[in-house]
Structure 1
Amino acid sequence: MSSSRREWQFSLAIAAISFILLFIDLAPPGRDDGGRHARAEVTSVDNQYVRSNQIVKTGFQALRVELLSGPQKGQTMTVTNQLTGKMEFDELYAEGSQLLIEYGLKEGRPVDGMARGHYRLHWQGLLIALYVLLLALVAGVTGLKAALSFLFAALVLWKLFFPLLLMGFAPVPTGLVVVAALTAVVTFAVGGLNRRGLTTFIGSMLGVILTCILTMEFAENFRLNGAVRPFAESLLYSGYYDLRLTEIFIASVFIACSGAVMDLAMDVAASMEEIKLGNPDIGFFAHLGAGFRVGRAVVGTMTTTLLLAYSSSHVFMFMLVMAKGLPAANILNAPFVSAEILNILVGSFGLVTVAPFTAVVAALIYRSGTLATTGTPG
């Protein structure tokens, strides 16, 4: 069987699994599934129940809306927009706003409506479509495979990983299995069912495992627990008292860096393959040395990747502690800041070490045999 045919069959298998995942629901029982959702447009607003205290608004808006989708399309109803006084959660609506609402039914009429935010799903769908189109235009078939890998990763996390954590599965082993599955799909779908894909997979997993070990060790030494993450406490109050928050935090660290680790491993693996193709008679140590030099070049720019990603996502937090005039020692020693430092530095360990790991694996894999059966991804 040709390499190209195997890769197409692999992609079709991933597409089939993704389709099956769409219909899997492992979420724990006991949820209130009676609510219906629809897009609606605000026709009138009553703000008499909104109480303002400087920038803080509490109370609620009474909205009259017309449903724009769903079985009750065209019907009108009153919707409540509850305000909690927290700007990160609250939204105010004006006449003409389109929003997502949740409602119940009574004698075929929509009742008990609650606002669930400005309607953004159509814009999200458009952005995803543009992203897939860009991938196809730039990378051709490989770009479509990357889009399929993206979809598969999202479904595995949403349909399997998160529900399994809620069901009480051990977070670290479960996270490692999920990362291994995602890494295999991404590396073999994009890199091909060949030695390049195998090299990328092994190198990536070595980096992830090292990150996991370091996170477990330093999370204990830092005296951190998963409650430093947003919504962790709210999750406990929702009835999930037995969740192992610290282990979930550890799993989140190595899962978060796994994408960047895969990217770096693919760069090194592809370079090692090209070196071997250009000089089939190159010796083991010369090949390994070339891989180390490539690794040093790419690591030089990747070391700040996690720093920029994580620090920019918490820009308001850092601005707040600076605005309060807190000394550096207080800031760095705070639990939530220490958690981000651990996230950045331990993730960077995985990034830095994956380059030599992949170079060693590639030198061993390409040491013997011919490259005629390696194949090239579409």
Structure 2
Amino acid sequence: MNVLVILAVMLCMAMVMIGGKTGAISFLSLFLIFLVLLGTVYMMNDPANDPILWVIIACVIISCINLFFINGINTTTLAAFLSTVITMVGLLLFILFMSDLTMINVFGEEEVDELSLLSLYIGISFAELAAVVIIISTIGAITDISISITSPMREVYLHNPGMSRRELVQAGFAIGRDLLGTSTNTLFFAFFGSYLGLLIWFKDLSYSLGDIVNSKIFAAEMLTILCAGIGIALVIPIASWITAFLLVRKK
């Protein structure tokens, strides 16, 4: 516990020293988002509440904290927020369809021993719960890409106020192409690092490539990465169009 406190203090000091007031606000936002996630888990624990509805509310609140609380309300954050919400809703519908199609809403045989003493009658749809896990895992990447596109587009427009809406959209696409590859690689490395032990376990069990691909655990994580990559790709044109519309309209 003392180590965690020391690391948290070191993180706070580093963010304040480098980011100043914005760094302090960003550090505070981490605790606010943590409280939002705890509240979401508490509300979803009630069978009378719809997990999909509460994850949408949580993602909207998280987006507001990441964008408006840290950077204030302006054209850049408003465009990023709108593009994040639109992408999130469309992606959520796609995730619900894909989670049902791939049948990842059940546990794999690797998890049977751990769950043998537990009751699975918790009153929550595992299909919806799987979709909730995926959308929460992707909201951070989508928000990051959206603000990474809208902010440079605003700077480009401030230095070239005579640009048309079409030229602004092209500038947004150019920025998004540079971010697309690195962001998807980040998601892949995050998965590989988190589930390195699982991959070693597969090797010790002499799993073939077909067994690994058809494993429920592996399929669920790959679906998370692929859906996050799709969300990143979709938010690029949406953020570019919305930002260009708001900037030219504001002029």
TM bin (shorter chain):
over 0.9
Q: Counterpart in 2 of 1:215?
A: 95
Mapped contact 2:141–2:228 kept (Cα < 8 A): no
Query: In the TM superposition, what whole-angstrom CA distance separates every residue of 1:124-163 from its partner, at most 9, and x where no partner exists?
Result: 11111111111111111111121121111001111x1111
1:243 to 108, 124, 130: 124
Pairwise CA distance, 1:351: 1.3
Matches within 5 A, 1:175-324: 175-225=55-105, 227=107, 237=118, 241-324=122-205
Mapped contact 1:179–1:255 kept (Cα < 8 A): yes
Matches within 5 A, 1:81-160: 121-158=1-38, 160=39
**Which structure's residues are more often strand, by fraction?**
1
CA distance in 2, matches of 1:347, 1:205: 14
Code of the residue aligned with 1:333 in structure 2: it is N
SS of equivalent residue, structure 2 residue 249: coil
CA distance in 2, matches of 1:145, 1:204: 21
Pairwise CA distance, 1:283: 0.5
Q: Counterpart in 1 of 2:226?
A: 345
Matches within 5 A, 1:358-373: 358-370=239-251
Matches within 5 A, 1:74-85: none
Mapped contact 1:191–1:197 kept (Cα < 8 A): yes
Code of the residue aligned with 1:135 in structure 2: it is M
2:238 to 343, 357, 363: 357
**Which structure's residues are more often helix, by fraction?**
2
Pairwise CA distance, 1:250: 0.5
Pairwise CA distance, 1:274: 0.3
**Which runs of no fewer than 5 residues in structure 1 stay unpaired?**
1-120, 371-378
Code of the residue aligned with 2:205 in structure 1: it is K
CA distance in 2, matches of 1:200, 1:221: 31
CA distance in 1, matches of 2:240, 2:55: 25
The answer to whether 1:164 aligns with 2:31 is no
Q: Counterpart in 2 of 1:43?
A: none
Scaled by the length of structure 2, what TM-score is found? 0.92
Pairwise CA distance, 1:236: 9.3
Query: In the TM superposition, what whole-angstrom CA distance separates every residue of 1:104-140 from its partner, at most 9, and x where no partner exists?
Result: xxxxxxxxxxxxxxxxx22111111111111111111
Mapped contact 1:203–1:361 kept (Cα < 8 A): yes
1:173 to 53, 57, 68: 53
Q: Quote the RMSD (CA, aligned, Å).
A: 2.1
Mapped contact 1:191–1:266 kept (Cα < 8 A): no
Query: In the TM superposition, what whole-angstrom CA distance separates every residue of 1:266-300 from its partner, at most 9, and x where no partner exists?
Result: 11011111011111111010111011100111112
SS of equivalent residue, structure 1 residue 265: helix
Scaled by the length of structure 1, what TM-score is found? 0.62
Mapped contact 1:166–1:240 kept (Cα < 8 A): no
CA distance in 2, matches of 1:326, 1:333: 10
Pairwise CA distance, 1:227: 3.6
Distance 1:263 1:143, change over 3 A: same
Query: In the TM superposition, what whole-angstrom CA distance separates every residue of 1:51-98 from its partner, at most 9, and x where no partner exists?
Result: xxxxxxxxxxxxxxxxxxxxxxxxxxxxxxxxxxxxxxxxxxxxxxxx
Greater C-alpha radius of gyration: 1
Pairwise CA distance, 1:343: 0.9
Stretch deviating more after TM superposition (236-245 or 298-307): 236-245
Pairwise CA distance, 1:311: 2.0
Q: Counterpart in 2 of 1:29?
A: none
SS of equivalent residue, structure 1 residue 367: helix
Stretch deviating more after TM superposition (182-191 or 270-279): 182-191
Query: Aligned residue pairs: how many?
Result: 248
Pairwise CA distance, 1:322: 2.0
CA distance in 1, matches of 2:116, 2:20: 42
